[in-house]
Amino acid sequence: MPSSAPITIITFRDDLAADFDRLNRAWLVAGGFLEPADEVYLAAPREKIVAVGGEIFFAMHGATVVGTAAAIPLGTDAFELAKVSVAPAAQGQGLGRALTSAVIDFARRRGASRMVLTSNHRLTAAVALYRSLGFVEKPCPPGFGYLTADVYMEIALTPAARDT
């Protein structure tokens, strides 16, 4: 990232949907992880995430999207952390941590008691990040996750002031 513009975290806007697709598709394809379930969220992030009570966060370097993370609601008491992606040129600067923390804070404000995620053991940096934030590995519930996911993690959320 050539300029010294600060990184800001913002929430979903329709004009950022293509960046959500671009950043996530890049790592999913490169790792051999892209599945039909991913396509649903990448093709319609407003309809499949935001409109149903979730949120998508974007790390912005000036006007350029350099990272994403989504909070997808699971019933009334949980959210899934999904589609965490940081552009290669922006990695190593704490953006994955900042985005994941934004998703956790969002879920807390919505009154969720837990957050869950699925990943793959080959994504060692991501799994290490999640552990460092308090996520613990658990057996994957039947029917949850993706075909390429072999890691399931949860974190218990402490109550926070609810958004009004």
Let me know: does 116 contact 152? Beta carbons within 8 Å: yes
The reply to whether the predicted model has a pTM over 0.75 is: yes
Q: What was the pLDDT predicted at 152?
A: 95
Q: What was the pLDDT predicted at 26?
A: 94
Q: What was the pLDDT predicted at 24?
A: 95
Dihedrals φ, ψ of 73, to 5°? -65, 140
Q: What was the pLDDT predicted at 147?
A: 85
Question: DSSP 3-state assignment of 85?
Answer: strand
Let me know: does 67 contact 56? Beta carbons within 8 Å: no
Q: pLDDT digit string (tens) for 24-76?
A: 999 999 999 999 989 999 999 999 999 999 999 999 999 999 999 999 999 88
